[in-house]
Amino acid sequence: MPDTSFEDKVRDAIANPQNMGEMEDADAVGTVGSADCGDMLRMFLKFGERDGERVIDRASFQSFGCQTAIAVASMATEMLRGKSLDEAQHLSADEMSADLGALPPMKVHCGQMVEGALRSALDAGAQEGDRAEAGADNLAASLSPGGAVAGKIKIVPRTDNTETP
Ligand code: FES
């Protein structure tokens, strides 16, 4: 049963979630919320440098949401370590949740929320740092003050607590 398999994978992923919790020395923070389900996810990024290029040294997350979002965020924060900002910009929700297999339709927005939080944090990092190109076609750039529709859900950027320390 595909659903059982998906649920087992989520259960395994959240049994020992990686990189969960606030990062006090984060260089950038991105927070998004889903207006539909009321869940919220915040991603923290710490940047480093490799061969003169800015890379993600560490990533962590806080989730005020469902288990699928926690599972995807856990996998995403592991995946992000060592990625250049450009590589991170191009990571899709599907790639970040690949280990779970295809997300059931009701859970697609959970992965999109993780992607939105990552984009928001990357944009915050670009503004705070060297004004690196944030990418014009990313999710956060498309968000209007009232929120934007990504898939079937409306993702709303949260500006509270998004300042960098
Ligand atoms: Fe809304 Fe998972 S049900 S983030």
Note whether residue 163 is domain-resident: no
Question: Does residue 132 contact residue 54 with C-beta atoms inside 8 Å?
Answer: yes
Minimum mean pLDDT among 17-21, 62-66, 106-110, 142-146: which range? Answer: 142-146
What does the alpha-carbon distance between residue 122 and residue 30 come to, in Å, rounded to a whole number?
7
Note whether residue 165 is domain-resident: no
Question: Would the pLDDT of 165 be above 50?
Answer: no
pTM of the entire structure?
0.78
Note whether residue 7 is domain-resident: yes
Note whether residue 162 is domain-resident: no
Predicted confidence at residue 127, as pLDDT, reads 79
To test ligand 1's pocket by mutation, which of 32, 43, 68, 103 has the most ligand atoms within 8 angstroms of CB?
Answer: 68
Considering 37-41, 79-83, 100-104, the range whose residues carry the highest mean pLDDT is 79-83
For residue 137, name the pLDDT band (cuts at 50, 70, 90).
very low
> Whose CA is closest to atom 4 on ligand 1?
110
Q: Which CATH number belongs to the domain containing residue 33 in this structure?
A: 3.90.1010.10
Predicted confidence at residue 163, as pLDDT, reads 45
Minimum-distance ligand 1 atom for the alpha carbon of 37 = 1
Which protein residues are within 6 Å of ligand 1, measured from CB? 34, 37, 39, 65-66, 68-69, 109-110, 113
To test ligand 1's pocket by mutation, which of 10, 97, 107, 152 has the most ligand atoms within 8 angstroms of CB?
Answer: 107
Question: 3-state DSSP: the chain helix, strand, coil percent, rounded to 5?
Answer: 40, 25, 35
Note whether residue 151 is domain-resident: yes
Element (H, E) at 42: strand 40-50
Note whether residue 37 is domain-resident: yes
Note whether residue 57 is domain-resident: yes
The number of angstroms, rounded, from the C-alpha of 137 to the middle of its chain's C-alpha atoms is: 16
Question: Does residue 149 contact residue 133 with C-beta atoms inside 8 Å?
Answer: no
Domain that holds residue 49: 2-157
Note whether residue 164 is domain-resident: no
Copy the structure tokens of residue 132.
Answer: 């690196």
What does the alpha-carbon distance between residue 83 and residue 72 come to, in Å, rounded to a whole number?
17
Question: Does residue 51 contact residue 137 with C-beta atoms inside 8 Å?
Answer: no
In the chain, the number of structural domains is 1
